[in-house]
Amino acid sequence: MKRAILRGAARALQSVSAALANRDRKLPMTLRTSTHDLLKASVMARHLEAGDRVLDVGCGHGDRLVHLSLFQRELVTFGVDLHAGAPTMLPGAVAPTLGAYDGETLPFADRDFDVVMSCYVLHHLRPAAVDALLVEMVRCARRRVLILEDSVERFDLFYRLRNWAHIVDTDLEYAAATTFAPRVDTGSFLTRGAWQAKLASMPRATEVRVQPLDAVSRYRHHTLFVVDLSA
Ligand SMILES: C[S@@+](CC[C@H](N)C(=O)[O-])C[C@H]1O[C@@H](n2cnc3c(N)ncnc32)[C@H](O)[C@@H]1O
């Protein structure tokens, strides 16, 4: 008991003194909670090459591009979304160029980017809009498309419930945005097999892989699809 109290006091002192010793190192709050995002970025970065031009479609605040730049050298990163965001910069990271677009036609030339990616966007779109956006992404990509989605082998009752609640939640969140069409249904949550079949049918797709993510993140529905494109 006495030992446990002493240890508790030593740990409290250690924590306070370390905080004071590091008081001039300003770490963004997001770094304290986004370990799983950094782990994902480290895996995604394996599919990029040094110096790649990378486009993130539906980039939000652009934080994933910031994270990627920590794991691959000299990336030139761009992000588009319905509204222009502002990323949380991290020490040593590259700032992305972010902009807004109409949600349909990517304002870039054919094969302008080595890699085009999209994270947790497609399940918010109606099925026809998913197909149209994928065609646009492939058009702008030279070598590869990366898709991070909420997907599992099979949606059981709890996942169906979770997916429905997620759509209700985000429809409410985006309700004020004039460019965002509320979803109301969960038809764009696809199983891994269904995504693989859809992505394999894209023009120029030569191979589609499911890239395992880290094993320590809590949710197993975060799934990375890697689509290689022909020249
Ligand atoms: C769940 S957030 C994901 C944000 C970011 N990709 C991430 O991983 O943190 C979904 C994003 O999709 C965007 N979005 C919705 N419809 C879109 C469209 N047609 N084209 C591009 N982005 C869209 C929303 O504005 C929102 O930023």
- pLDDT tens string 133-191: 999 999 999 999 999 999 999 999 999 999 999 888 888 877 666 555 666 678 899 99
pLDDT band, residue 196 (cuts 50/70/90): very high
65 found inside a domain: yes
Which residue is closest in CA terms to ligand 1's atom 18?
103
Which atom number of ligand 1 is nearest to the Cα of residue 118?
6
Query: Would you say 38 and 64 are in contact if contact means Cβ atoms under 8 Å apart?
Result: no
Spacing, Cα 19 to ligand 1 middle (Å): 36
Residue type, 172: L
Spacing, Cα 57 to ligand 1 middle (Å): 7
What is the separation, in whole angstroms, between the first and last Cα of the chain? 68
Spacing, Cα 6 to ligand 1 middle (Å): 49
Query: Would you say 131 and 214 are in contact if contact means Cβ atoms under 8 Å apart?
Result: no
2 found inside a domain: no
135 found inside a domain: yes
60 touches ligand 1 (CB under 6 Å)? yes
38 found inside a domain: yes
3 found inside a domain: no
- How many CB atoms neighbour CB 208 within 10 A? 19
Whole-number mean pLDDT of the chain?
A: 90
20 found inside a domain: no
Residue length of the chain? 231
Spacing, Cα 82 to ligand 1 middle (Å): 7
64 touches ligand 1 (CB under 6 Å)? yes
132 touches ligand 1 (CB under 6 Å)? no
Cα–Cα distance for residue pair 189/178, rounded to 1 Å? 23
Which residue is closest in CA terms to ligand 1's atom 25?
82
- Nearest alpha-carbon partner for 118 in 106, 110, 128: 106
Confidence check: pLDDT of 118 > 90: yes
87 touches ligand 1 (CB under 6 Å)? no
Spacing, Cα 115 to ligand 1 middle (Å): 18
Confidence check: pLDDT of 227 > 90: yes
Lowest mean pLDDT among 4-18, 45-59, 72-86, 116-130: 4-18
81 found inside a domain: yes
Cα–Cα distance for residue pair 96/99, rounded to 1 Å? 10
Spacing, Cα 229 to ligand 1 middle (Å): 23
Cα–Cα distance for residue pair 127/187, rounded to 1 Å? 7
Residue 105's domain comprises 30-229
117 touches ligand 1 (CB under 6 Å)? no
Q: Strand locations in 46-186, DSSP E?
A: 53-57, 76-81, 97-100, 113-119, 141-150
Confidence check: pLDDT of 23 > 90: no
105 found inside a domain: yes
Confidence check: pLDDT of 15 > 60: yes
Query: Which position has the token pair 């965001």?
Result: 85
Question: What is the CATH classification number for the domain harbouring 101?
Answer: 3.40.50.150
Q: How many domains does the chain have?
A: 1
Determine the number of helices (DSSP H) and then strands (DSSP E) in the chain: 7, 7
